[in-house]
Structure 1
Amino acid sequence: MLFGLLSLLIAAPAASDPRTSSEQELAEVQASIRQTEQQLKQQQQALQQAEQQLQQADRTLAQAGQQVQQQQQALAETQQRMQQLVAEQQALEQQFGQQQQQLATQLRSAYQLGQHDYSQMLLNQQDARQLERVLTYYQYFNRARMQQLHAIRQTAGQLTQVQQELHSRQQQLENQLQALQQRQQQLQQARTEQQSTIRSLQHLLQEQGQQLSYLRQNESSLQATIDALKAKAQQVQLAGLTALKGQLQWPLQGRLLQRFNELRQGGLRSRGVLIEGTEGSAVSAIANGQVIYADWLKGYGWVLVLDHGDGFMSLYGHNQSLLKEPGEQVMAGEQIAQVGRSGGQATAGVYFEIREKGEAVNPQAWLQSR
């Protein structure tokens, strides 16, 4: 019995040793931390992969959109040339008919003159002056007939060439129409893939609870880009926007989905406005300027920035594709991009900002009232 009690006394401290308990808890915490870090790492990898997929989807869509526009332009040029050829053909046919009528008139005159037979006049010893006059008429009509025949042959050759080119253009037009239909199918497929990628990215952000962090990263990236562009903006001499305040035309006519300084999803305030539009429609420059940035930017998709001089810049984001390159001069109202939903935007439209010396200002104070 004494041995049993001693055994219990010895065993009791071992069972309640605080060091063992603390070490076990520490090991569990460390394991939990490692698991959390691993999960965060996986989430970050998933988010980066989703962003890369979105960027690739935006690039594919932009390329398809540009190809469709190029095909439409080529198609319009071919149709215009065909209209010119049809007009040329009608003019040549009218000319050909007039030349034939002139030739017929000359032949009738020659026939009537031919009633005075030259050999008969010689045998009858008619007046030599009359004979000379008749010979002159013969020579005149002969030259006129030869010239008219030459003109007819030349017109006929031109008409044949026009008809051949018209046939060639018709075939070209049919090929361009077929190519345009294929490009439009590719464009639609690219849009579908982009929208699917956008939904995946948004779902991932909501699942990870990183919407605010993602928006802050995007805004920081945009601000850094604007700051870097301020130095470039000093290289061009433009009049600025001050004299045009309240008169600037809108880059896109559409419903305002988001106003300046309005709370965005995630709790951040907007530094611009979001204008709803139809995918592929025109985005126009608000004023004369020079392109100083045209590239894909995280969170804003395809972005184009114009420098208007005197510290003023305008920014156009979420485009489907960009139609201008850095360094190009643009005029007010000129198309610079196509409406889209790049950069993860769920609704087609244009994100628009005006910056004065790098600071965002309310665009509605500068644009025409509507």
Structure 2
Amino acid sequence: MQMRLSCLGINSMLLAVLMLPVAVAQQAPKAEQELQQLQKQIKQTEQQVRQQRRQLQQAEQKLQTADKALAEAAKKLRDTASRKQRLEQESARLSQQQQQLQQQLTEQQQLLAAQLKSAYSLGQHDYSRLILNQQETGKLERILTYYQYFNQARLRQLAEINHTVTQLEQVKQQLNNQQQQLQTELTALQQQQQQLTAARSSQQESVSNLQALLKQQGSQLAYLRQNETSLQNTINELRRLAERNKDLSGLTAGRGQYPWPLRGRVLQRFGQNRQGGLASRGILIQGVSGANVQSIANGRVIYADWLKGYGWVIVVDHGKGFMSLYGHNQSLLKQPGDNVEAGEAIAQVGASGGQADPGLYFEIREKGDAVNPLNWLGKQ
């Protein structure tokens, strides 16, 4: 009996061994198919990632282009407004000069009239009788002398009048030219305001597209980290550059008393979580587009350019390892190497670099490390 069971067990094992290649052969196509599907999914995912990266780069490029167009339009608008102001001042000066010349001409005409009246009074004498009367030769000489004096005075007065009239005509012509040029500047100003409005719309559209794309891809955190890394690398480069400015005294002396770079509500505080979860290394101050951004202290501009994630950025070195950074500007008013004083306008408020609303991003760095700006600024 045992012998029979053993034979049956051996036969079952042999049968299973014989059937194994058949089972493997049946499962092989299924495994191969799953592997191919997995490889296909990986390839599709890689293509999607590459496509998303291209879309993000295109969105960033469009944003940068829109920021530059807005800054250029704002600069043209600012320059034209300055020219218009100078023309108005020149027109006012010419108008005042015109009034003075007109008054001068009136006085000269009145003086000439008085001289003519005096000459007429002298003309009432009978000169022929005086000439024939040899006894009054002295009186004749005096009268002739008077006539010569009055004639010379009248000639001088007429020359002055002619000169004043010529000056008056020249001033009138200059004033007319100034008014025509002023009208041309006003027309250009209106066109540039339209360009500025169009540039702002383009910028807002680019910001919306970028934010929507980041939200769709779920890459806000990675985007913010890239921007922060870019900023930190820039700061590290600037630290080496700032070491050359030995004549600056730093920010230690005025801690807690420095003026605000922009008056406005603080939308985001130092250390507060930003969108994506990263802690802010500065503060965000609400502002109005085009308002002036002011340097908090004396210093020297060491950076003024567009930076990804922060838009138009200007960095001022204050010496002793202290720097202040101003971001999301509409346009910059200073260039690297410019010396600035406390309270001096260095930029204009904007929403560059991906901001939805106008405001100023402000940092203070001490030896490259971000410190809480609120500890350095005075009360608003």
Match of 1:149 in 2: 158
Structure-1 separation of matches of 2:64 and 2:180: 38
Match of 1:355 in 2: 365
Structure-2 separation of matches of 1:197 and 1:105: 77
Residue identity over aligned pairs, in percent, reads: 59
240-249 or 38-47, which moves further after superposition?
240-249
The aligned runs of 1:38-49 (5 Å cut-off) are 38-49=47-58
Structural RMSD (CA): 1.7
The aligned runs of 1:1-370 (5 Å cut-off) are 13-14=22-23, 17-236=26-245, 237-370=247-380
State the shift of 1:75 in Å.
0.7
Q: Which AA in structure 1 matches 2:253?
A: A
Summarize the Cα distance change of 1:36–1:147 in structure 2 as closer, same or farther, 3 Å threshold.
same
State the shift of 1:143 in Å.
1.2
Structure-2 separation of matches of 1:268 and 1:56: 27
1:83-102, Cα deviation, whole Å (9 max, x unpaired): 11111111111111011111
Structure-1 separation of matches of 2:353 and 2:128: 96
The alignment covers a number of residue pairs equal to 363
Match of 2:5 in 1: none
State the shift of 1:110 in Å.
1.2
1:55-90, Cα deviation, whole Å (9 max, x unpaired): 001111111111111111111111111111111111
158-167 or 357-366, which moves further after superposition?
357-366
State the shift of 1:106 in Å.
0.8
1:216-265, Cα deviation, whole Å (9 max, x unpaired): 00000001001101111122221222222222111111111111111111
Q: Which AA in structure 2 matches 1:296?
A: W
Q: Which AA in structure 2 matches 1:79?
A: E
Structure-2 separation of matches of 1:235 and 1:102: 70
357-366 or 189-198, which moves further after superposition?
357-366
Specify the structure having the higher radius of gyration (Cα). 2
Structure-1 separation of matches of 2:65 and 2:178: 36
Structure-1 separation of matches of 2:33 and 2:188: 70
Structure-1 separation of matches of 2:189 and 2:129: 74
Summarize the Cα distance change of 1:170–1:20 in structure 2 as closer, same or farther, 3 Å threshold.
same
Structure-2 separation of matches of 1:117 and 1:330: 82
Structure-1 separation of matches of 2:351 and 2:93: 39
Structure-1 separation of matches of 2:223 and 2:19: 59
Question: Any unmatched runs of 5+ in structure 2?
Answer: 1-14
State the shift of 1:28 in Å.
2.0
Match of 1:3 in 2: none
128-137 or 322-331, which moves further after superposition?
128-137
Structure-2 separation of matches of 1:330 and 1:126: 88
Structure-2 separation of matches of 1:38 and 1:325: 42
Structure-1 separation of matches of 2:128 and 2:291: 82
State the shift of 1:118 in Å.
3.5
TM-score by length of 2: 0.92
State the shift of 1:127 in Å.
2.9
**What is the DSSP-based 3-state SS (H/G/I as helix, E as strand, rest coil) of the residue aligned with 2:280?**
coil
1:22-62, Cα deviation, whole Å (9 max, x unpaired): 33322222211111111111111110110011000111111
Match of 2:12 in 1: none
Structure-2 separation of matches of 1:117 and 1:161: 45
State the shift of 1:117 in Å.
4.0
State the shift of 1:11 in Å.
11
State the shift of 1:329 in Å.
1.4
State the shift of 1:181 in Å.
0.5
239-248 or 144-153, which moves further after superposition?
239-248
State the shift of 1:272 in Å.
0.8
TM-score by length of 1: 0.94
**What is the DSSP-based 3-state SS (H/G/I as helix, E as strand, rest coil) of the residue aligned with 2:326?**
strand
Structure-2 separation of matches of 1:368 and 1:117: 92
Q: Which AA in structure 2 matches 1:210?
A: S
Q: Which AA in structure 2 matches 1:43?
A: Q
State the shift of 1:300 in Å.
0.2
**What is the DSSP-based 3-state SS (H/G/I as helix, E as strand, rest coil) of the residue aligned with 2:356?**
coil
Structure-2 separation of matches of 1:241 and 1:333: 14
State the shift of 1:116 in Å.
2.7
Summarize the Cα distance change of 1:11–1:355 in structure 2 as closer, same or farther, 3 Å threshold.
closer
